[in-house]
Each structure stands twice: as structure tokens, then as C-alpha cells.
Amino acid sequence: MKRIYVILVALMVSFVATSCFEDYSEQHFFRTLTVEFEDAVARNNAPGVNYPLLPQLRNNAGNRTFRINLFGGLHGQDLTIPVRVVAESTTAVEGVHYSLPEGLNVRIPANEAFGFLTINIPELTNTQAVRLVFELESTDIVAASNNKKRIGMNIVR
């Protein structure tokens, strides 16, 4: 009798202890569509600024692309992500130090998780380095990641 009582108590305790666990797998899913720069994820912020500085771009570097990640799910239609040049941190001048062949809007195709920002570095005449900082902007559908929405780069001759 005592043995049956011990077995019943053990079964009851194990049932009560394991039936109360939450489903943690649902708790860690990102549900909001969010964009970030891949280079901001892979690098640490530079000292004194809230964005990473990428390796210097040299004179006549040509086209360079920067990947933008979409996380939180995929969208059934093409997404257009606005990008802005951060004027207070940028000393480079568009048309002189860089150009944007595809403009300041990045397209992420339907049901895909990546888009690309393309810049072109022409033949330069400046002797000092200039800085260029980009920032992703939120839309009605997609939010920009608070910590990974900016990247910066120095352009030198």
C-alpha cells in the first residue's frame, strides 16, 4: 500500500511539474517586419557614434552594394525601404564624392529577405577623407531596427 502511495505521489508531482511549462518557442519569434543593415549586424559601433564605420572606400572604387536584411517574416509584395543620408554626420557631397545609381529607395522583392543599396564612388579630386552615413527609415509596413539602422564609411582619394 505504501509503495502504491509513493508511486501515485511521484506521478502526480511529475504531472503537475511538467504541465505548467510555457511554450517558449513562440515567445522568441519576431513578429514585426524589421529591416537592418547586414554590415551593422556584423560590426561593432565605432567609438563615439551609434553606427559602425566600414572599411574605407578608395578613389574610383566603382559600385559598392550594402545588403539590407528583412526579419520578422516575409511579405507577399515587393517592399520599398527608404534610406536617408544623415546630413549631420555626412561630409560627402552627392554627385562629387558618391552617386546613387538606384536612388535612396531599396527594393526587397516579394517573399525574399534581402535588398541591396548601391553606391558608386567616382574619380575623386579631394585630398581629405569625407564621411558618408546612411540610415534606414521605417514605413507603415516595415520598422527600421533601432540599433542596426545606420552604417558609415569614409571615402578617401
**∠ Cα 139 142 150 (to 5°):** 85
Across the beta sheet with 53-58, the strand order is: 53-58, 150-156, 130-136, 79-85, 105-108
pLDDT of 110 above 70? yes
Q: How far apart are CA 35 and CA 146, in angstroms?
A: 10
pLDDT in tens, 4-53: 888 888 888 777 776 566 666 666 667 789 999 999 999 999 999 999 99
φ/ψ of 3, rounded to 5, equals: -65, -40
pLDDT of 109 above 90? yes
pLDDT at residue number 73:
87
Nearest to 32 by CA among 78, 71, 80: 71
pTM over 0.85: no
Q: Is the dihedral of CA 69, 36, 51, 97 positive or negative?
A: positive
- For the domain covering 25-156, report its CATH number: 2.60.40.2030
**∠ Cα 117 118 123 (to 5°):** 150
Sequence ranges of the domains in the chain:
25-156
**Beta strands at 150-156 and 130-136: parallel, antiparallel or unpaired:** antiparallel
